[in-house]
Amino acid sequence: MDTLVKKSFDSNSTIAETKDIPSNVHRSIKCVLIILNSLQVFLGLTCCVGCLFVRFDTVYIKRLVRTYLMPVVADLMRTFGGSDYGIGYAINAYDTTEVLRWVALVFLVMTFILLLPALFGISGLCSKRSWLMTTYIVVTGVLVIAKIALIVLCYIRPDVIQDWIRTPLKVSLQTTYRGDTATDPVSVTWNLLMIKLSCCGVDNGRDFEFSRFNRDFTLQIFNQTLSISNLQTPLACCNSASRRTAFEPGACAKYPIRKDHTHYFEGCLEKIWSYVTQYSDAFILAAVVICSLEALQVILTCVFMELLKREMEDRKRRKSRTYRKGSDFFFPSVSEESLM
């Protein structure tokens, strides 16, 4: 008798242990998903802080830009230092918030991409609402597919990505840029960029054929009035020595023929793209890791939902069994043997 009781007790404990296995897996998956989504929320909040910092800071970013571009600023000071063009005022009044508003927009988009799916995921895991988890799976899956497509596109057709960047740059250069002596943030940025990268225009100097920049202006240099007219490109497209020549000022911009005097044939977009592609391996590796983690989150969420569904079904089954036992106690059913 004791042996039978012991066996029945061992069998019951084994059943209880096997029932606890899915619940343990269920809890482990939930913990992993909450950790991953919390990390994603942290990254989203970091991007949000970066967006606000880039959009509204007027001190630290300007200081960083001036430190990085100190040789360029010194070059401009040497070129226009004794003139009536207030290069010092233009640099001091340089508004980085106006120039970097597109960077702030990129940070804002990244904030929404990171935060929204993670918030859906955490809300669904904590409340066990299937529609929240389904939304999380769909949104994250779409983002993973979009990121993979973008990675493949960058690798196979980089010219398509360059075209996306080229269009707004050309619009800015041909409609907003005002020339060497302009003090607005966009013009100052283009001048600093072309001198820093030794480039001219977006693709080359021909981009200035339809530009509205000031081609005729007068400079007062060392008590001498110098008239510069009919410029084909800004003086920023010339190399440093050609900009400060005493023989026919602006000749390098009027007749941009000699490659040793001008950067007419070198576009800024190509220089920027070459600089960015130096870190392409790191970018691709980071994107692959992020996509892999997000795909893992989608798979784990699907498993979590399936385990949750089975757990709900088991609860309903146990509830119905308990109800039947109670009803049989109060209203015993008539068996076939008793009828016979």
DSSP secondary structure, 3-37, as one string: HHHHHHHHHHHHHHHHHHHHHHHHHHHHHHHHHHH
Residue 178 · residue 215 · CB < 8 Å: no
Residue pLDDT, tens place only, 233-253: 888 888 876 666 555 667 778
Write out pLDDT tens, residues 27-41: 888 888 889 888 888
Quick check: 21 pLDDT over 70?
no
Averaged confidence pLDDT in the chain: 77
CA distance linking residue 198 with residue 30, whole number of Å: 54
- The whole-number pLDDT of residue 11 equals 44
Predicted TM-score (pTM) of the model is: 0.72
pLDDT given for residue 5 in this prediction? 43
Q: Is pLDDT above 50 for 14? A: no
Cα–Cα distance for residue pair 154/124, rounded to 1 Å: 34
User: Going by C-beta distance under 8 Å and a sequence separation of 6 or more, which residues neighbour residue 124?
Assistant: 130, 131, 132, 133, 135, 136, 301
- Whether the per-residue pLDDT at 193 is higher than 80: the answer is yes
pLDDT tens-digit map of 194-235: 988 889 999 998 999 888 888 877 766 556 666 777 888 888
* Tokens, residue 280: 């392409």
